[in-house]
C-alpha cells in the first residue's frame, strides 16, 4: 500500500462533549448504541452497560473549561472512554486534554496505539479545585491505519467506582492545513475597463483549528481596486463591515496594493480568528473583491494568487504556517487608443479653388492597432484631384482610407487635394476605427469647416449659406 502524500485528516468527534445537550447531568448510551433516543456521538466506553456520563457547566459548582459541557470518565463503572480513528502511518498527531478530580485527587491514563494494544502515553492526577491542561504528540507507526485514543481510569478519591475523573476540551488529530481556492469572475478574455471579481475560499482540511488566519492578496499589475468591494461572502464574519480601517475585518492598503482579510471565528480588525476544519465547517470561509482593468493591461494575461498565514496552536508553542492559492489567470483583449486630427490649408475659398486636407492618425497603444480604416467620404461639392496616403491606400469612390496596422506610437498621414465646385458652407468629417477596443473613442472623429464663395470678395455671407 502506498502512503498518501497528504495524510488523512484526523479529528475527534464531539471532543468537548457538547452533544447531546444535557440539563444538570445525564448518563447516556455511548456511540455504539445509535438506536437510542439520545446517545453520546463519537465516544465509546469499555463499561459493560455502554453508558457515558455528561455534566452541564456549573452543575454541583463545577465549571466546564471548554464549551458548556464535560464528561465524567467513570459513569457507573471504572472504565475506558475511547475513539478509534483512521490514520496514515508516519503522520504526526497532536493531543490535548483537560482533567480534573471530583471528590479529591483523581488519576487517569492516556493510551494511544493499535486498537488491540494501545500504549500508555502518560498518567495525570488532579484535584477538584482546578482543571489541569496537558498536551503532547504522537507519530503513527508504520502499518497502523486505525488508531485508538483512550482515557483509562486509574484511581478516584472516595473509592466509588461510579465517581471520578472529569474530562473536557479533548483534541486528538492532525495539525490545521488551510487550502485556498481562487477564481476570477467573469472568465476571460475581458476588455480594458471591465470589472473583474476575485473570489477566494479558505478551507481547513486539517484536524485542528487554523488560528490567527489572515488572508492577503496583492492586486495584479495594471489593475485598480474598486472601492467598497471587499466582502466576506461565507463563513464566520460573513456580512461584517469591511473596507475601512477601524473595527473592520478587511481593508485595502493602497500603498502595498494589497487586500487584507482577518478570517475565522473571533476575528477583528487587528487579529485573525479561528477556522474550524471542514468536518465542522465544510464550506470554509469565502471572500471577494473587485478590480478594474487598466489600459496598460491590454493584450496581457493577468495572473494572481492569494496567500494566507495562520498558526498551529496545538503544541506548546504556536507554529506559523502559510498557504498559497492556485493561480487565477485572465486574458485581456488587446486595446489600441487611436486618435484622428483633420485640418485644411484654407478655410475660406472661392468656387474653383483648390483645398488640401491633411488627416493624421496616431496609435497611443498599449497594443498594436490592426485593420485601421478611416472613413472620409467627400461631399458632392468637392471634386477629387489627388491623394497621398502613407501608409495604406485611398479609395475615392468609397471614401475609405485603408491604413492597415499601426504599431504603438506610430502615425499615418493622408493628404487629399480637392476642388470646390459649388458655393456653400462645407463640413467635412473623418472617423478612424480599428479591430481592437479603443478605450477613448472620443478622439476618433474630427471635422473641418470650409466656406466656399462664388466671387473673389467675401463679406462672410457663408455663415448663413446652407450646408452642402
**Domains of the chain and any CATH numbers:** 25-173 (2.60.120.260), 178-331 (2.60.40.740), 336-464 (2.60.40.1530)
Q: What is the pLDDT of residue 456?
A: 58
Q: Which residue has the higher pLDDT, 372 or 162?
A: 372
Residue 208 near residue 277, CB atoms below 8 Å:
yes
Q: Which residue has the higher pLDDT, 241 or 419?
A: 419
Ordered DSSP codes for 79-143: -EEEEEEE--TT-EEEEEEEEE-SSS-EEEEEEEEETTS-EEEEEEEE-SSS-EEEEEEEEPPTT
Q: Is the pLDDT of residue 178 over 90?
A: yes
How high does pLDDT run on average in the chain? 93
Q: What is the pLDDT of residue 2?
A: 36
Give the residues across from 380 on adjacent strands: none
**DSSP state for residue 467 in the 8-state scheme:** B
Task: Calculate ∠ Cα 266-96-234, nearest 5°.
Answer: 30
Q: What is the pLDDT of residue 464?
A: 39
**DSSP state for residue 268 in the 8-state scheme:** -
Bond from prior residue into 20 cis (ω within 30 degrees of 0): yes
Ordered DSSP codes for 295-357: GGGTT-EEEE-EEEEEEE-SSSS-EEEEEEPPPEEEEB--BEEEEEEEEES-SEEETT-EEEE
Distance between CA atoms of residues 459 and 178, nearest Å: 83
Q: What is the pLDDT of residue 459?
A: 45
Per-residue pLDDT tens over the stretch 200-244: 999 999 999 999 999 999 999 999 999 999 999 999 988 766 765
Q: Is the pLDDT of residue 435 over 90?
A: yes
Q: Is the pLDDT of residue 4 over 50?
A: no
The mean pLDDT value for 255-274 works out to: 95
Distance between CA atoms of residues 270 and 456, nearest Å: 82
**DSSP state for residue 265 in the 8-state scheme:** B
Residues in contact with 35: Cβ distance below 8 Å, sequence separation at least 6, in sequence order: none
Residue with cell 482533567: 99
Sign of CA dihedral 232, 237, 239, 241: negative
Confidence of residue 457 (pLDDT cuts 50, 70, 90): low
Distance between CA atoms of residues 167 and 100, nearest Å: 7
Distance between CA atoms of residues 53 and 384, nearest Å: 104
Q: Is the pLDDT of residue 130 over 80?
A: yes
Q: What is the pLDDT of residue 12?
A: 94
| Among 466, 410, 458, 467, residue whose Cα is nearest residue 434 | 410
Share of the chain above pLDDT 70, in %: 94
Distance between CA atoms of residues 280 and 9, nearest Å: 12
Q: Is the pLDDT of residue 134 over 90?
A: yes
Distance between CA atoms of residues 383 and 388, nearest Å: 16
Residue 174 near residue 122, CB atoms below 8 Å:
no
* HSE-up (13 A, CA, CB side) for residue 71: 35
Give the residues across from 94 on adjacent strands: 137, 173
Give the residues across from 311 on adjacent strands: 211, 320
Model-wide pTM > 0.85: no
Q: Is the pLDDT of residue 461 over 70?
A: no
Q: Which residue has the higher pLDDT, 113 or 454?
A: 113
Distance between CA atoms of residues 452 and 339, nearest Å: 28
Distance between CA atoms of residues 316 and 310, nearest Å: 16
The mean pLDDT value for 183-188 works out to: 93
Q: What is the pLDDT of residue 5?
A: 52
Amino acid at each position: 500500500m502506498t502512503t498518501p502524500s497528504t495524510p488523512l485528516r484526523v479529528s475527534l468527534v464531539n471532543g468537548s462533549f457538547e452533544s447531546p445537550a444535557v440539563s444538570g447531568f445525564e448518563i447516556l448510551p455511548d456511540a455504539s448504541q445509535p438506536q437510542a433516543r439520545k446517545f453520546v456521538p463519537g465516544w465509546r466506553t469499555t463499561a459493560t452497560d455502554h453508558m457515558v456520563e455528561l455534566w452541564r457547566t456549573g452543575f454541583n459548582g463545577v465549571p466546564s473549561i471548554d464549551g458548556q459541557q464535560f464528561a465524567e470518565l467513570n459513569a457507573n463503572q471504572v472504565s475506558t472512554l475511547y475513539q478509534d480513528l483512521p490514520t496514515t502511518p508516519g503522520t504526526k498527531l497532536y493531543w490535548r486534554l483537560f482533567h480534573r478530580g471530583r471528590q479529591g485527587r483523581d488519576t487517569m491514563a492516556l493510551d494511544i496505539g493499535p486498537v488491540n494494544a494501545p500504549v500508555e502515553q502518560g498518567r495525570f492526577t488532579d484535584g477538584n479545585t482546578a482543571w489541569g491542561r496537558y498536551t503532547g504528540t504522537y507519530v503513527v507507526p508504520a502499518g497502523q491505519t486505525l488508531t485508538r485514543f483512550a482515557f483509562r481510569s486509574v484511581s478516584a478519591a472516595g473509592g466509588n467506582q461510579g465517581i471520578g475523573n472529569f474530562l473536557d476540551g479533548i483534541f486528538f488529530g492532525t495539525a490545521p492545513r488551510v487550502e485556498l481556492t481562487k477564481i476570477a469572475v467573469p472568465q476571460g478574455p475581458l476588455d480594458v475597463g471591465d470589472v473583474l471579481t476575485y473570489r477566494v475560499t479558505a478551507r481547513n482540511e486539517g484536524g485542528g483549528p487554523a488560528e490567527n488566519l489572515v488572508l492577503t492578496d496583492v492586486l495584479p499589475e495594471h489593475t485598480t481596486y474598486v472601492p467598497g468591494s471587499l466582502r466576506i461572502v461565507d463563513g464566520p464574519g460573513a456580512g461584517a463591515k469591511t473596507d475601512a480601517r477601524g473595527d473592520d475585518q478587511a481593508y485595502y492598503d493602497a500603498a502595498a496594493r494589497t487586500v487584507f482579510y482577518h478570517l475565522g471565528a473571533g476575528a477583528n480588525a487587528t487579529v485573525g480568528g479561528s477556522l474550524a476544519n471542514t468536518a465542522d465547517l465544510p464550506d470554509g470561509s469565502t471572500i471577494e473583491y473587485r478590480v478594474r482593468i487598466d489600459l496598460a493591461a491590454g493584450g496581457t494575461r493577468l495572473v494572481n494568487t492569494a496567500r494566507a498565514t495562520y498558526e498551529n496552536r496545538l503544541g506548546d508553542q504556536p507554529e506559523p504556517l502559510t498557504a498559497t492559492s492556485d493561480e487565477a489567470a485572465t486574458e485581456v483583449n488587446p486595446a489600441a487608443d487611436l486618435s484622428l486630427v483633420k485640418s485644411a490649408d484654407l478655410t475660406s475659398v472661392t468656387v474653383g479653388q483648390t483645398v488640401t486636407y491633411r488627416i493624421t492618425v496616431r496609435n497611443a497603444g498599449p497594443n498594436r492597432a490592426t485593420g485601421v480604416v478611416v472613413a472620409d467620404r467627400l461631399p458632392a461639392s468637392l471634386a477629387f484631384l489627388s491623394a497621398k496616403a502613407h501608409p495604406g491606400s485611398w479609395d475615392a469612390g468609397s471614401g475609405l482610407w485603408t491604413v492597415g496596422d499601426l504599431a504603438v506610437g506610430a502615425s499615418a498621414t493622408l493628404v487629399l487635394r480637392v476642388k470646390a465646385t459649388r458655393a456653400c458652407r462645407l463640413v467635412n468629417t473623418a472617423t478612424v476605427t480599428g479591430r481592437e477596443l479603443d478605450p477613448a473613442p472620443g478622439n476618433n472623429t474630427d471635422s473641418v469647416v470650409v466656406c466656399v464663395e462664388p466671387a473673389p470678395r467675401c463679406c462672410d455671407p457663408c455663415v448663413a449659406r446652407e450646408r452642402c
